[in-house]
Amino acid sequence: MSTLKPLQIDIVSDVVCPWCYIGKRRIENALALTPDVPVEIKWRPFFLNSWVPREGISRDEYLTAKFGSPEAYKGIAGRVVSAANEEGLEYRPDLVKRQPNTIDCHRLIHWAEAEGKSAEMKQRLMELYFRDGGDLTNIDVLVQAAADCGLNAEDVRRRLASDEDVALISAWAKEASDKGISGVPTFVFAQKYAVSGAQPAEQLARAIRQVSAEVNAQAAE
């Protein structure tokens, strides 16, 4: 039984951020490299594209607004697709037809946390978007994703139709921005050390060990 104090890791990310998709796999690999370090993971919301309306927009409209044209994104996408493949992930940008506002996705992740399934919910939404080209603005798609993770479908449908936790998620995302987080994923260790970007698993593992050692040394004083 470990007597170490668990290390809190807050992961600020968005489900439509490809580097967050890759970063999630890398932090999981980092945790596999540090099995003796107890951790508590919290998934924190971030709006990569806060300007996208709640109903979403077409992918082409989004790529034109953000990169100048859909064609301009293709070179960028190729590098991200390769990085995803190296982590055993699939990213099919050609399948993505709609760019969502992600507040409902973050609500689902938050609700899944109460059942210990936030990481599973996060992964399911990312797979739907990046691998399958799923429309995350579609309530039926979101409800099915929640059901796939073991949440009650009718309960989720009812909650999504309300404004439950919209203000909470928005406040959390604003808090991240107010703290200076502008690029995601950002990994915050023990609420004091931030590592930005989808860093290699080995680098994240070193950070986990170093900060855990510091936290436990302080606890022992």
pLDDT of res. 95: 97
pLDDT of res. 5: 94
pLDDT of res. 1: 47
CA distance linking residue 43 with residue 28, whole number of Å: 13
Q: How is the chain split into domains, by residue range?
A: 7-212
The amino acid occupying position 145 is A
pLDDT of res. 3: 85
pLDDT of res. 196: 97
CATH topology of domain 7-212: Glutaredoxin (3.40.30)
In tens digits, the chain (221 residues) has pLDDT values of 458 999 999 999 999 999 999 999 999 999 999 999 999 999 999 999 999 999 999 999 999 999 999 999 998 999 999 999 999 999 999 999 999 999 999 999 999 999 999 999 999 999 999 999 999 999 999 999 999 999 999 999 999 999 999 999 999 999 999 999 999 999 999 999 999 999 999 999 999 999 999 999 988 88
pLDDT of res. 219: 85
Reference 17, options 47, 43, 40; nearest CA is 47
pLDDT of res. 73: 95
